[in-house]
Amino acid sequence: MHRATLREVAVMAGVHPATASRALNRQTEGLVNAETAARIKRIAAEMGYTPNPIARSLKTSRSASIGLVIPDLTNPLFPPIVRGVEDVLRPIGYNAWIVNTDSRPDVEKAAVESFRQRNVEGFVFATAHLKHPLLDELAAASTPMVLVNRRSTRTDIPSVTPDDAAGVAMAMQHLVDLGHTKIVHLAGPQDLSTGVNRRRAFLASLDELGLPAESSRVIICDEWSEQAGAKGMRAMLDSGPDFTAVLAGNDLLALGVYDALSERGLRCPDDISVVGFNDIPFMDKVFPALTTVRIPHYEIGAEAARLLLEVLRDPNRHPRSLLLPLTLVVRSSTGPVRAGN
């Protein structure tokens, strides 16, 4: 099946290809006689003409595309972010090229390189580390980009992140309201803004709530995973201070906490209360029910796309970062039916 080219449209319309090009582009449409332009458009439509994006991209070095760099799509945190990005971009004719990096810097570097060769106009990164040489490079080259969920120490890179500190404060207040005074924290990796911010907010909260802010009340997990959460919880049970409640750095760590408590014959929430973070999809189904801090995943993606589009439109605009508000989702397993087994 042959696909019409601009040249063919031009021939049919009896004009030069350059004129056809002008008529068919919003920007340059005004340069063409209105009637001629209308004729060209009609003929183009009849012939089912659509511009070849490859040829256009080769000529213009643009692509109407952005690169979306995700650590791992099988982490349910990310698909809603992807959807948010896509839903904002699609109506304006942009699309997102998605890549999984598996949190590997080499894969990320190769992906970014590949995207740049394909003339992506900007990036959304969900992979930011606090120290992140690749991001520094891109920032130095003024590459349009927005970070989501996590930030870098380079705070001049625009970002859209959850208000971790406020979320932690809400969770801590909740635990205190339940009567807890002996609370511990399983922190995430400390090379990530989320891991650091939540840990700091935990210690600050202890202090503000009049509880001793002992650093022994924090154990750092080396990744955001159920396994790491279980390992951290075991360490806390073995050699940490007494506690009746755990603030997990995210929901996956909280699942690991459940596993470790279960191994030791401890019950939730009878013996130990657990609070998570993120409210990833399907967290409302787990047992024991998990109270957690909900992050607006979809909106994070959507806002990131909007922010990136702003940067693309006005590259000199002062960088802005968004902090999105969170909500505490209180859940309990003591409903009338499911509790029975």
Partner DNA sequence: GTGAAAGCGCTAACAA
Partner DNA sequence: TTGTTAGCGCTTTCAC
| Interacting residue ranges for its own copies, rule: CB under 8 A | 1, 3, 50, 52-55, 57-58, 72-74, 76, 79-80, 82-83, 86, 95, 97-100, 113-114, 117-119, 141, 255, 258, 261-262, 265-270, 281-282, 285-288, 333-341
Least separation in angstroms between residue 230's CB and its own copies is 13
Q: DSSP character for 287? A: S
Residue type, 63: S
Q: DSSP character for 125? A: E
Which position among 38, 52, 102, 287 is part of the footprint of DNA (CB under 7 A)? Answer: 52
Q: Is 47 in the site for DNA (CB under 7 A)?
A: no
Partner whose binding site includes residue 32, from its own copies, DNA, none (CB under 5 to 8 Å by kind): DNA
Cβ–Cβ under 8 Å, residues 95 and 89: yes
Stretch that binds DNA, among 29-37, 108-116, 205-213, 257-265 (CB under 7 A): 29-37
Q: Is 59 in the site for DNA (CB under 7 A)?
A: yes
Partner whose binding site includes residue 281, from its own copies, DNA, none (CB under 5 to 8 Å by kind): its own copies
- The Cα–Cα gap between 96 and 87 comes to 10
Partner whose binding site includes residue 215, from DNA, its own copies, none (CB under 5 to 8 Å by kind): none
Q: Is 180 in the site for DNA (CB under 7 A)?
A: no
CB atoms within 10 A of CB 129: 19
- The Cα–Cα gap between 285 and 184 comes to 25
Partner whose binding site includes residue 15, from its own copies, DNA, none (CB under 5 to 8 Å by kind): DNA
Least separation in angstroms between residue 175's CB and its own copies is 18
Strand order through the sheet with 273-278: 218-220, 183-187, 245-248, 273-278, 291-294, 327-329
Pair of tokens at residue 82: 């992807």
- The Cα–Cα gap between 341 and 330 comes to 21
Residue with Cβ nearer its own copies (186 or 206): 186
Cβ–Cβ under 8 Å, residues 57 and 46: no
Residue 36 has, within 13 A of its CA and on its CB side, a CA count of 16
Q: What are the backbone angles phi and psi of residue 99, rounded to the nearest 5°?
A: -140, 140
Partner whose binding site includes residue 227, from its own copies, DNA, none (CB under 5 to 8 Å by kind): none
Residues near DNA (CB under 7 A) are 5-7, 14-19, 21-22, 24-25, 27-28, 30-34, 36-37, 49, 51-52, 55-56, 58-60
